[in-house]
Structures are given as C-alpha cells and as structure tokens.
Chains A and B, each alone.
Chain A
Amino acid sequence: MAECLNSLLHDNTRYDKISKEHKGSLEWLLTHEKYQKWSSSERSSLLYIEGKPGSGKSTLAKYFRENLQITSSSVIVNYFYTLRGTELKLTHENILRSILYGILKNDETFFPLFQSKFRKFGSQNVSKWPYESLQHVLSSLASHPFTKRLYLILDAMDESEENDRRKIIELLCQLCAKSQSCIVKIFLASRPISQFTHEVKKGHHVIRLQDENEKDISEFARSFLGPKLGLPSNILNKATKYIVENAQGMFVWVYLVQQTLLKYAERGCTTNQIFNFLRSLPTELDAFYGDILRELEEREELGFKDGLRMFRFVLFTYRPLRLAELNHALAIPDDPDATFLTSDESFEGDLIHGIDKRVVYCGGNLLEIKGLDGTVS
C-alpha cells in the first residue's frame, strides 16, 4: 500500500502557509442556513464557497476543518495546493491525484477500490496513475460498502484553469449523485466559474463569500479610515461604502488599500485629498500589484535590485528562506560575469543591517516575514 500511496504522492503543503491575518470573524459560517442544510443532510452533497482571489477562502476552509466535529466513522481529506517557482497551472489530473492520495492515506478501507487499478499498471513500471484510472477510482468511491462520512475539503484551485476546475466539479457532482451507503460531503472553495454556477446550484449549496464578509470588510475599513486617518464621519461613511463596493469580498485588496493610504497620509494631507486618492487606486488586485511593482522599479537602482532578488528567492527557491538565510544569499553576487572574491571580510561587509526593514522597503508590502524563525514569503 505504501507503494500505491507513493505513486499518488504530490506536494500538498499550503495548509500551514495560510496566514491568519485580515480574515475577520468567521463564526457566521457555522450558523449559515446553507451550511446547516449541507452539513445536516444525510445525502451526499457539495458546498461551493464562491469568492474572488484574496477574499479569504483558504482561511475559511481552514476554519471549517478546525471546527469540524469528528466521529469515528468520518474520513477527512484536505486538499490545498501551492504552486512553486514557475509552475503556471494546475491540471485537474494533479488535483484528482492529490484527492485520491488524501483519501487512501486517511482511511485504508478504501484500498480495495484502488487495488485492482493499481495492479493493472503497477507492474508496468508506470510512476504516475493514468488519468482514466484516477477518474474510475474516484467514481467507484460511491460504492464503498461501509457507512462512512467522507469529508473532502478542496481549496486553492484558483491556480487551475477554468476548464480543469469545471471538470473536477463535474466529477465530484457525479460522485455525490451516485453514492449510496457512504456519504460524501464536499467543501469546495473556488473563484466564481461563469457557466457552471447554474449546474452546481441544482441540488448543491452555494455560498457567495462577498455577501458574507461585507460586514467584516466594512469594519476593517472603518478601523483605519476613522482612528488612523481621522476622516470626519460623513466622508468616513462614503469612503467605507466605496471600499466595500469595490472590494467585492477581497480582503487582500482592502489590506493593500490600507497600506497605501496610510503611507500617503504620512506626508500630511486634506480629507478631500485622501478621498480622491482612494478613488484613484486600482480596483483590481492585478492592477494594484502592477502599480506597486512599477513604483518599486522607479526607485533608486540598489533598492530595485535587492527587491528583484528578494522576489526571485521567494518565487524560485525550493523552500521558503529564513531572514538570516536571505540576508546571506543577498550578500553573494549572482551575476555570472561578476567577479567574486572568496573573502569573509568582503562578504561580511555586504550583509545588510536591519534586513527586516530592507525586506519591507524593497518588497513594498508584498513580502511578509512570518513566524518565530522569520520565514520570508
């Protein structure tokens, strides 16, 4: 069986990386009407948490997992996926493989479902499961003879193509429709899918995140518009309304707005200037990031270069670096043509004092230092 597990193995480590910040309160989930219907029903069904990127889907999925009442007959499979380096997309095949891996790892009684398929190609020295076999195993889960409650928690499918996502959802819906003694409860968090929502709505439950976190976003916006920026109440209301409307559930966007406004206000400004500046900010995340990066590019050369190298280390290293590691890596010239002196004295002279400040300055709010050991991401 270990061999069978290995053949399905896939990196799935995002779970620990999700930050707890800027999430607002999440208690509403457990009392939500659709959630209760979904969770109390004895039928297999799918709960679709729909939200734009950066609206806190991952935090919600984590919250759900932590608050799930576990009984001896429940099997919980968590699926988070994180892209690394230059991997551009996530295929439905990879997603499916990880889901099956999680199921088998959590409950051995599902093994017979895998066994026959595994034997078929296991001998042929194929290291990865063919897609058809994966698909077949997934749909055969429905005929699992034991009365189990199988929870599938799926998240971070944002990085996949819409078509891939749709395929997975189709497969999962089929599984729900067919399952008999084994109850499958699927908790799926994903960005909105245009053509699909209708199909999913039939017999499944959809919660739109932006309808739910409006209140949290509004409170968060007020917390910095009022006390920190000192806007008078009439403008405060207007500005809050503006932020809520444009956020469309995206907490990350509001966080960026907060950082940018606070920085803007540092130089001293009028109420009208703040409000106009707020309205001039991009309403899409990508455009916002674009602006931030452009600003970094226009900085003095050294600052830009350090920033570029920091982003490169964050994006392309095979594990996140700690702050001290990053500092040492930055002190080594990475230009193939540059001369490199193998000298401790010259190296130590190139280390940055206050590397934490440098990360904030060069990374422009996009880099974060986390945890006790100061992992940079």
Chain B
Amino acid sequence: MTRSGEGAAKPPPSAPGAPPGDAAPGPLRRAAGRLRVSRFEVTIAVALVVAATAPLGVAVWQAGRLTEHALAFGLDPRVVDRLESIPALYLEIFRSRKQLYAEQAREVARGLPRDPARGTKYLGAAVADTPRLRRAVWLAPGGDVLAEAEDTAPLPEGEWRDAPARVELPGGGTLECTFAIEARFFAELDEARAVAERSRDFERLGGEIRSGLIRSFGSMVILAALVAAMIGLLIARGTTRRVSQLVAATRRLAAGDLAVQVDPGRSGDEVAGLARAFNAMVREVRESRDRIVYLEKISGWQEVARRLAHEIKNPLTPMKLAFQQLEVRWARSPAKDADPALGKAVKEAAEILRDEIGTLQRLVEEFSSFAKLPEVKPEPAELGDFVEEFVRTSPQISERAEVEIVRAAPSCPVALDRALFRRVLANLCANAVEAALPARARVRLGVARTRDRAVLTVADEGPGIEPAVRERIFDPYFTTKGTGTGLGLAIVKKLVLQHGGEIQAGERPGGGASFSVVLPLRADPSGAAPD
C-alpha cells in the first residue's frame, strides 16, 4: 500500500463533475482492489500450475495405461470363465457324492433282513461300517418305522451337513439314509460364487471402472492444479502486490506527488530493497525540490532586499546630510533664542528625525546583509567540536543563557563553512534567548547522527512556536516578535540549505521550541561510506 508523507496524506478532492469512480475508494472498492489479480500474479500462477500439472498430465496418461493393464490382468476373460465354471465343478462334485451315497444306501438296502426285528441290529452295523452314514431308517410302505439306527459317534472336526439318500425297497417300503457331507463345500461354493459374480460384474463394468479411475485421477489433478494455482497466487501476491504498489507509486510520482511512499514491508528481498530505494529517492527529490524552491524564493527576496536597501539608502544619505546641515545652521540661528517654543518643537522633531534615520540605516544594513549573503565554502569539521567551540567563543550567548551541550554521537563528520554556520547557531541561540525573556534562557544544544546524517538540535524552554506558524517561520520578513525584520530564520534556513541540509521547527518535549538542523555526513576521506 502506498502511503503519503507529510502534506500529502489526504487524497486530493474530486474535481467538480468528476465521475464517482474518481472519488476516494470506499471499503468495497478497496476490497475489490485487493482481490483483483494482476497480470504479473497470473503469470506466476500460470507458471506454477504448468509446472505442477505438466507432469501430472503425463501421470494421467500413465494412470490410464496402468488401469488398462490392471483391468486386463484382473479381468482376463479366461479367468472370468474359469471362475464362472466353479459352480459347475461343485455340481459335479455333489453329483458324485450323491451317487456315492445312493450306491452305499442301495448296498445297505440289499443286505436288509427279511425280518424287521433284526433290522435294527443290521442297520446299526451298517451305520457303523458305512463311511459317513449317520442314520438309517427302514420305513414300511405305510410310513411306519420298522427299524432305525444312528451313529452317535462324533464326526471329524469341522462342520457337516446332512445328505439324504432314499432307496425304494423291492418288497415295498423305503430305506432312508442320511449321510454327512462337509459343510465347507457349500461355504466354498458360496464364496466362489460371490467371487465369480463380482468378476462378472467387473467384466461388465470394466469400461466404466477404467473411466471412473481416470476421471478420479483427472479430478485429483485438476484439484491439485487449483490448489497449486491458489498457492501460486498467494506466493505471487506477496511479491507482485509490492511491485504493483511500486508501479502505482511511480505513476503518482510522475504525476507530481512527491509525498508518495511505499511500504517496503518486513521482507529483506530485492523488492523490499527497491521499495526502500524508491522511498529514499522520492525523499531526496522532495528535499531537493523544496531546497530549490526555497532558495529561489530567498533569492527573490534577496533581490527585493537589495533594491529596497538601494532605494532607501540613496535618498537617506542626502537626507541625513541635509538634516545635519540644518541642525548646524539652527544652532547658529538667532531665531533659536527668539522663539523658545519654536526651538523646543524643532528640537523634538530633530530627535525624531535622527531616530528614524538611524532605524532606516539599520534596516538598510540588514537588508544589505541579507542581500549579500556570501557563498558557502564548506570544509571538513566535526559538528560536536564545532558546537563546543561556538559556545566557548560566544560570550554574548553564554552570558545570557544556560547552555547545555549533549553529544549523543562521538563522531559527526560534516562539511561546514565555519563563519556562516556560526551565524546559523548565533541566530538560533539568539532566538532562544529572546524567547525566554525576561527570564534567563536555558538552551540545549544536541548533536546526534543517523545512518547517513548528522542532527543538530537547538531547543529552549520558552513558549514554543505555534503549529500554525511553523510553516511560515522561515519565510523572509515573517516575525512573531514586536521588533526585528523577520530575516534571521530565513538567513538560517538558506545557509543550512546551502550546506546541503534541512531545518525543521518543532516542539521540545516538556515545552519550548526545538529546531533540528540535519546535515549530510561527510564521506570518509578513505572512501568508505558513513557507517
């Protein structure tokens, strides 16, 4: 998100008749703006999706082939045919068993005694001798039981079920035999039938199963692509949003908004570095523009001052000479004693004229001084040492104020025109002293530094400066004092700007005014950048 510095935080008002879209964006528009996808984001997201899905596309094709192979193995028609023929095999097994049991039952029937009284004994022996014969019942034609026998001995381990075999006897009657057959045959048959039916289902549904698996895999690929696209967008947005902000900020800068700034974020990547460099560039451009504008303005005022001084000075000298001659002649004139009232009036007028001529002379001198500010010729200096030397060699300041020097940084190498920067300090300290009147002033001179700048602070404990006038306080001929020309701070600012620095008026914590003079740190003679 771009942000504006001081003086540009508020968006410009819409022009009359401008469409609603030109108005300040509302929450909905801001939300829509956040959701809008830039081309850069789309490019990165598409690249990620392509990178993610290209192998998956091949995988889909391979999956189709694998599914085909797997189904071909699993649904081999010969396997399905063999599975479907299993019940027929059991049918043959069961028929064989039933034939065996029927033959065994007929064998038992052939040996039945004629006398039913001996039937029970015979059947008991037959049951005992015939494998898996569990029970034999001899029934009369009418259904009455003539004899019966049952094997109560336990069968071998496992489940068994009954297999009946019925023999019609030649002389009438029936022999009903019950054999035991392994129940596992039926369980195995059921399982084989279930497997065979499932294989048959799969064979019928083979095409659909293959399609379903491919559709499933394809759906997962699409899902993966969507997730990749979303992640890509999220990742891309982190970078592209800042790039988009830089683009927007650059457009605002091109449109003349020198207050625009870009949030570099907490990242330490190249984009964040670019944002910081952009902010520094804009700040530098803004300061340069302000400096140029101010210096041009000051130059104009200097020209005005020069002309004013010239225009005032030209008639002032003859006026002064003429007045002095008039005073001499009046002193010798007999009229002076003849009319005492006239003498008194002339004397009072002479005093007024003398004072005003003196005032005009001082004004001319100040104007001339302002108009003829010399060129700044900076030379290497240590700011802290310079401030200490200034205080030590400026009794007019130390006599009128309690001066405290605070050096927060041990070294602040700068480039100063010592004579002119003394004037800067003298003006600022004089302002501080006058602000404290009639009390004795307390002036605090602070020397500190940032990464690439030295900061000199002149703070007092006076009434401070109204925020409303801070913007104009450096304008020439603007003063809040009853006396003075309003040129002192203008001269200060011009000199500071000519040193490549800046000055700002502010408020001292705890009350009072504070002027901050920021100067560029002098490059190390060895070529190393300021730390």
**Are the chains A and B members of one assembly?**
no
Chain B positions within 8 Å of A, measured between CB atoms, are none
Chain A positions within 8 Å of B, measured between CB atoms, are none
